Structure 1
Amino acid sequence: MLFTFVSFVASNPRESLPILVAFYALLSFFVWIAHRKDRESQVSSIGDVLTFTLIGSACFHVLTVLFGAPFFEYVKLTFLYSMLLSVLTVTPASVLLGHNSQGWIRIFLKTNPRTRSECILLGQCCCTLLGTWLGAAAIPLDWERPWQVWPIPCVLGACAGHLIGLGAGLAVWILYGKRKHLID
C-alpha cells in the first residue's frame, strides 16, 4: 500500500497533491470535532482554524521560496506543498491551542509542553519539518527519477515525518505519561 501511495504521488504530482492536502485537512477537522468539548463555539472556531491554516500556508510558501523552491515555474505545486505543511503542523496546533498565545510560545519557542497532547503536537510538528527537510536532500541528485521532481521528495518526507512524529509523540505519551509535569 505504501508503494502504491508513493508511485501515485510520483507519477501524478499535480493531481495527487490536492488530494493529499484535502485528506489531511479532513482528518485534522475530524480530530478537531472529536477534541472540542463545547459544541456551541464550533462555528467560530472553524473559521479560526481555517484562518490559522491559511496564514500558516502563506508563511510556509514564503519560507519555501526563500529556501530555494521554484517561484515562477511551479507556483501551484509550491503553494499546495505549503498548504500541506500548514495542514500537518499549523492546523493541529490551532485546534489544540486556539488563540492561546502563551501556549504557542511555550510549546514552539520554549519547547516545554505540559500536557500529553502538547507532547504529541510538538513531536509531530518537529518531525514533519525535519522530514520535509530530509526529503529535499533527494532533489539535487542526478538520478533523473520521476520521484525526484519538485515537490515530491519534500511531500513524501513531510508525510513520513508526520507519521513518525505521531508515533514518537504517542510513545512519549505512553512511556512518560506518569511524569508529574504532564497533566493531560
Structure 2
Amino acid sequence: MAQGTVLSATEVSRQGPFLAYAGVNVPDIKARDVLTAAVQAASVIGIPLSRKPTFQPLLFKVWRALGIDWERIRLTTSTINYALEEGDYWPKLMAGRRVLVVGNAAAPLARVLGNRGVRIAAAVGPVRGISDWERVAEEASGHPFDLALVSAGIAAVPICVRLVERTGKAAVDFGHLADRMAGLEYQPKIRR
C-alpha cells in the first residue's frame, strides 16, 4: 500500500523483499488499490504492534496518505491468529462448523484439521498471488461453509472481504499459521 503514496516502488522493493513471496511483484499499483479497498471494507483489521519504522509507523503513514480513517476501523493485532492458537481457541471456534480452507497450504491443512475432527467444507488452492484473488474468491464462495480460514499472502485480505460479502459468513486471514499447523516450512527464504 506504500507504493506511490509514501514510498517509491524502488524503495518498497528494497524494504519489502518478502512481497514477491506474499504474492505482489512491485511495482503493482492495482494490487495497492485492491488491498486499499479491501482494508476499507473489512470488519476488523490486524495491525502490527511493532514500532519499528516499516511496521506500525509505516502503516499509519500509508493510511493517512490514502485517506483511510483508522479511527473508524475495528483493529486487532496482526498476530491474533497466533494468539488464538496459543490460547487453544481455534478448536472451539471450529467446533460444529463447516470450515473452508483457502490457500497454497489448503490441502495439507484440511487433512490435519480433518484428522482433528474438524468438518472441512472444502480446500481451495492454489492462490497464485494478488492477481488471482478474484478467481479464488469466486471458487471459494461456491462452497457452503460457516468459517473460512484464508492463507494467501496479501491476496487473503480481498479474498476474505469478498467471501463475507458473498456469503455473510466469517472469513479470517489465517496467515502462516496454516503452514505451521499443517507441518510445513513457513518461513520464506529472503536474501537480506
Q: Which structure has greater helix proportion?
A: 1
| TM-score, structure 1 normalization | 0.28
| TM-score, structure 2 normalization | 0.27
Q: Which structure has greater strand proportion?
A: 2
